[in-house]
Structure 1
Amino acid sequence: MRSTLEEDPNEQAAIAFYNLVRQNIIAFLLFLSLYAISYVLLQRFRKKFRASDPDDEDDDLFGIDNLVIIVLCAAGLAMALAGFLLLPFTIFATALLLEDLNKEIYYLSWLDAALLETLWNYTFIGCNITLFVLLPFAYFFNETDQQITLIAKARDTLSIMLLVGLLMYVFIYVSKLIFGIVNIDEFVVLNLLTCLGGATICWKATPKGYIRIWAWIGQLPLNFNYRRSLKNKLSQHRMEINAIKQKLESLDRVWRSHGEKAMARSATALSSTVNCPSSSDKLYASMNGFSTNSRSGISTLNRRDLLTALKTLESESRQTQSDLSKSPLYRNMSFFLLLILSLLIWALLQVHISWAFIKSLFVDDDQYNTLKLESAFGKKTGSVFGRYSVLFDICLIFYFTASTIIGVYSIQPFKRIRPRWNRMNVQHMIANVTILLVISTSWPSLVRILGLTRFDWVGPYGHFHKLRSTGQWLAIIFRAGAFVTTLFSFLDYYILKNLPRVRRSSISPRANGVMHNTFLNGDIDTTTINGHILHDPCR
């Protein structure tokens, strides 16, 4: 009976239809989740207040034009997040399929290879549509005349996009003739150009992202005489607190004795007995940010200023006392261990990249995309440490992704459009989403080329096998460039900047434009114990 049902074409068509509906519903729900997250993020980063400068254009919070742009940018950001999360999700899902956990757990029964292939196809199509259609439409829509109607703006935008698309097609066609790849589809060449853009950004941004992530550990080491400095600072704070308390007590005593009018006369007489303030008053005024009028002899040290200064000094004294209780051995050992950890992660990435580079010189890996997803299960799905170590691959991919995204906003010209809370206009919004889409569209191919995972199946992202030797040589060049740039950046940051000759020369002490220990912190303070700001209550 069972074989009869399996051979029945109507039953097979019904099963195929239900599977198709299930896959599309799951993909749509995942897209809605990512879209909601993206829309909330864009609303948080969007500029909320109008600028005081009339020449500076600002966003209309309730305008339909900007709402259209935000909706399109949210779709692009959702697809960028899908591109970044797709490969780790697939690696984790295939590990579950290997262990047959989807059959034991009811909520994972929908997970199969067909669903993963559907997600890969939809993500690839969605990333390209948002990158080459929706975001250009949003940009040209924002640049059109603001005085015309919405329909007229859309018509002008579509006309401009048609002309730009025709120009892009001519450029790709001429490039195919120049490089002798006439048999390759234009869509494959366009995907190749996107991957080249992502690879170029990765060359420059990823090494700086590594350094930015671990720059904060430079605050941990302490000098040997840091306790003496803290004790001197603590005693100075106590003396200042006692002096301010004495002044407050004298003011309270005068208030109780003579009343409000007598208080005013006594304060005037007290400040005018001498033509200029005393040296101690000048010292307190300069320390606490007050001003004194030396010509009239009138000091602005009133009761409110004294109370504010007392509160600030007590807060600094408590923080200094807390710093004094910290162990130098603990902080120095923490710095040493974190430094070793950062170097080990860097060395691990270098080993992966160098091994992929060496293997590409002797092994032809252009036919990896001809395999189906089911054939990628097994040994190729796990990491080099075994089938059950897929979490290692996922963590390595996330670390590499975070380094690239952080490094992107540390280089020019992307540094000027770095997202900030409530300060991003629609132009910066479109630019940031475009950057993330360029990186995410090329990310599955770049991660696989660098050898960060042994998962060989990248779905529709692996069309480069059609380029034959050209794609293979481009992959070799990218691996070699990533290895050299990462190696030089770490040598420059950890070794070259510490050499006395290099430090005295004209070479800037900033390694690759990265200001050490200032990405998450303020400016360097030479008066503190280790040259860095440990606390600043005024901030």
Structure 2
Amino acid sequence: FVWLLFRIGALRCNSAFHPGGDNLWLCTFTLSVAVSAVLLLPISILSNEVLLTFPQSYYMQWLNGSLIHGLWNLVFLFSNLSLVFLMPFAYFFTESEGFAGSKKGVMARVYEAVVLLLLLALLVLGIVWVASALLHDNIARKSLYDLWEYYLPYLYSGISLFGVLLLLLCTPFGLSRMFSVTGSLLVKPRLLEDVEDTLDCTTFEEDALSRKLNCKSPSCWVKLNMEAMKKEHQTLRSQRIALEMRRKASPWQRNLGYPLAMIGLLALTVMCVLMVCFNVLELLLDETAMPRGMEDPHLGMASFSMFGSLGAAVQVVLILYLMVSSVVGFYSSPLFTGLLPRAQDTNLTQIIANCVSLLILSSALPVFSRTLGITRFDLLGDFGRYNWLGNFYIVFLYNMLFAGLTSASLIKTVTWAVQRELIRAFGLHRLPLTVSRSTVPFRLLLASGLSKIQ
């Protein structure tokens, strides 16, 4: 807050005031906290493996459990500070103009933003107190006297539960979308396709449309639908660029890059599902599989994976893969597609909304990974104080839903992708719409493929 007041004072003295400067600083700070939350579990797991590998090393004496525990506490503190105070203040400061009758300026906007923030805090605290009173009457009475110990954990539990539920919805969808997103960045191999002929045809069609669009005769404007032609021209141009990239790509990149990437994504996704299924069995047989908090991390005593350092490395890769998949699924879902940032076309309110969304997803990632059994590293600090973590039915149902949704999305994506590639490879995508592709017999597929080979 001292830094914030210093920035406000500097802006007050500066005549050339940029209204979004401080908000961008707050957004940058929030994104840095989000990145730190994502790296909490990987850093903790790798630190334990480093201490196991070099137990008596003089250069590793600074790496201990108290340092990791302090990092978890700091990330928890700053994530809640950004989510509850900084981002709402940034939004209110962006939308505020000062109270009616007050002198216009920076401080008038600050006063209005602070008042709105206090009113919002009172509203949220009142809602959480009513919820705690309905669930636990004794704790609700104590929370009036001890706000930090009994009252704020309910607020933190609600925020974390919302983030974990959001990850449950976005991650399975993102795991299925990762195949198409990765495929759009790589050169796809095309069976039985002559790239040179396809590129020549696309180039000729693009040139013909360009001549029609550049025609200055009045008859052209009357007879031709210019908007449809422009869209078709853009489509042909993108196809030509993709074909040129495919032609310039090396044979190794064209024939091995895409299959290896798809196999890697499939292996990571299947591994996540298998680990969740194994965690479901452990929940039924062993009570220690339940996620819980850990006050004193004893690093360097034993590995958190039964496969040693290799298993720990796989856990780190899976955690980062789940985070990337959740972000892809979040921005691919119909509810949040409008939040996707666009180059030089994103307003400040949308930037704040993106920062809040990424912070919610990243701060829930440690709880998400531990609940699914991706890692056995228990939650440190206040991350382990969430009330719903000790409920067996919530944790068990969460694991079952994740395994079911991910399996269904994976099966649907793989089957549709194989069908689409086979149809494109054998040229059946050029069939008229009146012919149903599902009714095409296998003999026709085989005959079409053999004729192209000959």
TM more than 0.5: yes
Aligned pair 1:86/2:40, yes or no? yes
CA shift, 1:403, in A, is 0.8
- Report the equivalent of 2:176: 211
- Report the equivalent of 1:345: 268
C-alpha distance in structure 1 between counterparts of 2:168 and 2:118, whole Å: 33
**Stretches of structure 2 lacking an aligned partner (at least 5 in a row):** 4-14, 141-149, 221-236, 424-454
- Report the equivalent of 2:439: none
CA shift, 1:206, in A, is 1.3
C-alpha distance in structure 1 between counterparts of 2:66 and 2:121, whole Å: 34
- Report the equivalent of 2:452: none
Aligned pair 1:151/2:107, yes or no? yes
- Report the equivalent of 1:301: none
Residue number among 383, 386, 390 corresponding to 1:461 in the alignment: 383
1:221 is matched by which residue type in structure 2? P
Residue number among 186, 211, 219 corresponding to 2:151 in the alignment: 186
Question: Contact 2:163–2:364 (CA<8 Å) still a contact in 1?
Answer: yes
SS of residue in 2 equivalent to 1:69: helix
CA shift, 1:388, in A, is 4.9
1:124 is matched by which residue type in structure 2? F
Residue number among 187, 191, 211 corresponding to 1:223 in the alignment: 191
Please show how residues 139-178 of structure 1 align to structure 2 within 5 Å. Answer: 139-145=91-97, 148-178=104-134
Aligned pair 1:475/2:395, yes or no? yes
- Report the equivalent of 1:413: 335
CA shift, 1:293, in A, is 4.1
- Report the equivalent of 1:67: 21
2:196 is matched by which residue type in structure 1? L
Question: Contact 2:170–2:329 (CA<8 Å) still a contact in 1?
Answer: yes
C-alpha distance in structure 2 between counterparts of 1:382 and 1:159, whole Å: 48
Residue number among 149, 160, 171 corresponding to 1:195 in the alignment: 160
- Report the equivalent of 2:225: none
Note the alpha carbon deviations across 1:157-190, whole angstroms, 9 max, x for none: 2222222111111211221233347538222211
CA separation of 1:143 and 1:103: change in aligned 2, threshold 3 A: same
Question: Contact 1:349–1:452 (CA<8 Å) still a contact in 2?
Answer: yes
- Report the equivalent of 1:511: none
CA shift, 1:294, in A, is 9.2
Aligned pair 1:449/2:401, yes or no? no
**Stretches of structure 1 lacking an aligned partner (at least 5 in a row):** 1-31, 33-60, 241-281, 297-312, 504-539
C-alpha distance in structure 2 between counterparts of 1:283 and 1:487, whole Å: 42
CA separation of 1:390 and 1:145: change in aligned 2, threshold 3 A: same
CA shift, 1:378, in A, is 3.3
1:164 is matched by which residue type in structure 2? L
C-alpha distance in structure 2 between counterparts of 1:467 and 1:66, whole Å: 39
C-alpha distance in structure 2 between counterparts of 1:132 and 1:119, whole Å: 20
Please show how residues 317-396 of structure 1 align to structure 2 within 5 Å. Answer: 323=247, 331=254, 335-365=258-288, 368-374=292-298, 377-379=300-302, 381-396=303-318
C-alpha distance in structure 2 between counterparts of 1:143 and 1:96, whole Å: 48
Q: Percent of aligned positions with the same letter in both sequences?
A: 22
SS of residue in 1 equivalent to 2:19: helix
Note the alpha carbon deviations across 1:106-164, whole angstroms, 9 max, x for none: xx443222211111111111111111011111111112116722222222222222221
1:488 is matched by which residue type in structure 2? A
Residue number among 485, 494, 507 corresponding to 2:414 in the alignment: 494
CA separation of 1:100 and 1:176: change in aligned 2, threshold 3 A: same
Question: Contact 1:393–1:452 (CA<8 Å) still a contact in 2?
Answer: yes
Please show how residues 236-385 of structure 1 align to structure 2 within 5 Å. Answer: 286=209, 288-289=211-212, 290-291=214-215, 293=217, 323=247, 331=254, 335-365=258-288, 368-374=292-298, 377-379=300-302, 381-385=303-307
SS of residue in 2 equivalent to 1:222: coil
- Report the equivalent of 1:521: none
Name the count of aligned residue pairs: 373
Aligned pair 1:438/2:338, yes or no? no
Question: Contact 1:369–1:458 (CA<8 Å) still a contact in 2?
Answer: yes
1:495 is matched by which residue type in structure 2? T
- Report the equivalent of 1:271: none
CA separation of 1:288 and 1:104: change in aligned 2, threshold 3 A: farther
- Report the equivalent of 1:76: 30
Higher-Rg member (1/2): 1
CA separation of 1:326 and 1:162: change in aligned 2, threshold 3 A: closer
- Provide the alpha-carbon RMSD of the alignment: 3.8
C-alpha distance in structure 1 between counterparts of 2:279 and 2:292, whole Å: 14
CA shift, 1:462, in A, is 0.7
Of Structure 1 and Structure 2, the greater helix share is in 2
- Report the equivalent of 2:433: none
CA shift, 1:202, in A, is 1.2
- Report the equivalent of 2:82: 130
